[in-house]
Amino acid sequence: MSISKNNNQEIWKTALGEIETKVPKSSYETWFKFPKTQGKQISEDCFLIESESVFISEYLEQRMYSVISDVLSKLLDKELELKFKVLGAPLHSEENTKNSLQDNNRLSLSLNSNYTFENFVLGASNELAYAASIAVSENIGKTYNPLLIYSDVGLGKTHLLQAIGNKLLEDGCKFYYLTCEEFTNEYIKAIRTNKTELFRNKYRNADALLLDDIQFLIGKEQTQEGFFHTFNSLHLSDKQIVITSDRPISSLKLLEDRITSRLSGGLVVDIQLPDYETRLDILKKKVLLKGIKIKQEILESVSNKLYHNIREMEGSLNKILALSELTGKELDIESVEELLGTTDTNSYFADPEQIILKVAKYFQIEISDLKGKSREQNLVIARQIGMFILREDSQMNLTTIGLLFGGRDHTTVLHGIRKIQADAATNQNLRRDLLAIRSSVINN
């Protein structure tokens, strides 16, 4: 399609048509759709994006800069700097732009006010990560620096990261909270616009940096360089660094060694899949916050199912609430079971023999030894871990688990499960083993 490079409205509407194919429909409707945004080329190498609110301008600049830049650069066949402002407001001078970049007030737009320590449901699966986050928020830069929190998606690491941010915001600290993708986009923009010094000063003058999803840096060598020097500057100045990841440091193999070694030098904590009691507590808190009454037996039924993460469980709860609103009737256990399906959680994960296979493979032992009578310490621990995972991830009864492990009685199985539960509260290596095995089962 041929367009006039002097027709700003035509340029922007063409760009919007291309952007619409690159972002989710909901994002396009919320942040881009004309006339929420308008655009015009204000110089040979600069394009201005105007929007109807400060919130939209902030979002587009922080999260969509690279998408807009790529589309416009291809459309006009040149590299462009992008500027953002609210419709009708004056365009900031360079000095105002610098001040705006360092303005901490905008953090209240990025943080979810519901993500606080008070709203976090504490359980055996997350208590170390919770305690470390509390300690960091109360004594930034002085303890557990850096702090790395890792877990599979949807288990609460972003909640804890933002809880730290909300506490720092309340205390008046100067900090930056952003995703690693936003950090990357901002760094690329700084390079394109020759403002790397401004970028460096912005983060190095903060009291803390809270960075979500460090694994996003994998394969981005140029951004890793910027992150490494920013990390070093903050750390040498005793400024707090808190980072989340969807995997342990040992699995971040494509990050530069100098980065992973820096991360390993602090405190590394993980969050596991929550047990039944914690899942039930989470559901109780959710309905309490929503101001809705649901029968205890229904919450117990929902929490008794196993999920890959908390979001899936919340999805089940939302289905129940939607059914209640649509029918206008108080729900009973039968209608809930019919809605969610009565299939037990065995089918949600691998079968029991597959779990046993994964345990044996992880500890490099024979399945026959795992199920056998030997009392060697390494075999006993592996056996107890297998029993624990079977109980948690398949909801099998104790007698059936005992049969799978060579005909042991249910009291032996119960002792093994309780031993792992107790040890996991204080043993980080054990928590790492449990997370690795369960992840291998889920991702099989």
pLDDT in tens, 40-74: 888 887 889 999 887 788 778 877 887 898 899 88
Residue scoring higher pLDDT (314 or 5) = 314
Which of 292, 318, 342 is where one domain is finished?
342
Is 297 within a domain? yes
Is 347 within a domain? no
Domain identity same for 37 and 65: yes
Are 144 and 266 contacting, i.e. CB atoms less than 8 angstroms apart?
Answer: yes
Is 107 within a domain? no
Is 360 within a domain? yes
User: What is the domain-level CATH number for residue 437?
Assistant: 1.10.1750.10
Number of domains into which the chain is organized? 4
Q: Supply the pLDDT for residue 379.
A: 93
Q: 71 vs 17, 56, 100, CA distance in Å?
A: 10, 19, 26
Q: Is the pLDDT of residue 410 over 70?
A: yes
User: What is the domain-level CATH number for residue 288?
Assistant: 1.10.8.60
Domain identity same for 261 and 312: no
Domain identity same for 287 and 215: no
Q: Supply the pLDDT for residue 91.
A: 60
d(CA 430, CA 57): 46
Domain identity same for 149 and 214: yes
Q: Supply the pLDDT for residue 438.
A: 77
Domain identity same for 82 and 125: no
Q: Supply the pLDDT for residue 381.
A: 93
Domain identity same for 122 and 264: yes
pLDDT 10s digits, 98-123: 444 444 444 444 688 889 999 898 98
User: What count of Cα atoms within 13 Å lies in the side-chain half-sphere of residue 427?
Assistant: 13
Domain identity same for 53 and 161: no
| Rounded average pLDDT over 276-289 | 85
Residue scoring higher pLDDT (393 or 38) = 38
Domain identity same for 179 and 132: yes
* Beta-carbon count within 10 A of 177 CB: 21
Are 151 and 248 contacting, i.e. CB atoms less than 8 angstroms apart?
Answer: no
Q: Which 8-state DSSP code applies to residue 8?
A: H
Is residue 41 classed as helix, strand or coil in its secondary structure?
Answer: strand
Q: Supply the pLDDT for residue 370.
A: 92
Residue scoring higher pLDDT (3 or 426) = 426
Are 387 and 410 contacting, i.e. CB atoms less than 8 angstroms apart?
Answer: no
In 193-275, alpha helices (H): 196-204, 221-236, 257-264
d(CA 209, CA 206): 7
Identify how many contiguous H helices and E strands the chain contains and give both numbers.
22, 8
Query: What order do you get walking across the sheet with 147-150 strand by strand?
Result: 175-179, 208-212, 240-245, 147-150, 267-270
d(CA 420, CA 427): 10
Is 105 within a domain? no
User: What is the domain-level CATH number for residue 169?
Assistant: 3.40.50.300
Domain identity same for 118 and 264: yes
Is 371 within a domain? yes
Domain identity same for 356 and 408: yes
Q: Is the pLDDT of residue 185 over 90?
A: no
Which of 228, 252, 270 is where one domain is finished?
270
Is 204 within a domain? yes
Residue scoring higher pLDDT (427 or 115) = 115
Which of 132-146, 263-277, 282-296, 303-317 has the weakest average pLDDT? 303-317
Which of 233, 248, 270 is where one domain is finished?
270
Q: Supply the pLDDT for residue 83.
A: 87
| Rounded average pLDDT over 208-219 | 86
Are 243 and 208 contacting, i.e. CB atoms less than 8 angstroms apart?
Answer: no
pLDDT 10s digits, 74-86: 888 887 888 888 8
pLDDT 10s digits, 226-264: 888 888 888 888 889 999 998 887 777 656 677 778 788
| Rounded average pLDDT over 123-150 | 91
d(CA 359, CA 267): 27
| Rounded average pLDDT over 172-179 | 87
Domain identity same for 150 and 260: yes
Is 2 within a domain? no
- Percent of the chain topping pLDDT 70: 88
Parent domain of 65: 8-91
Average pLDDT, the chain: 81
Name the packing angle between helices 310-327 and 296-304 (round to 10°): 140
Q: Supply the pLDDT for residue 102.
A: 41
Domain identity same for 170 and 250: yes
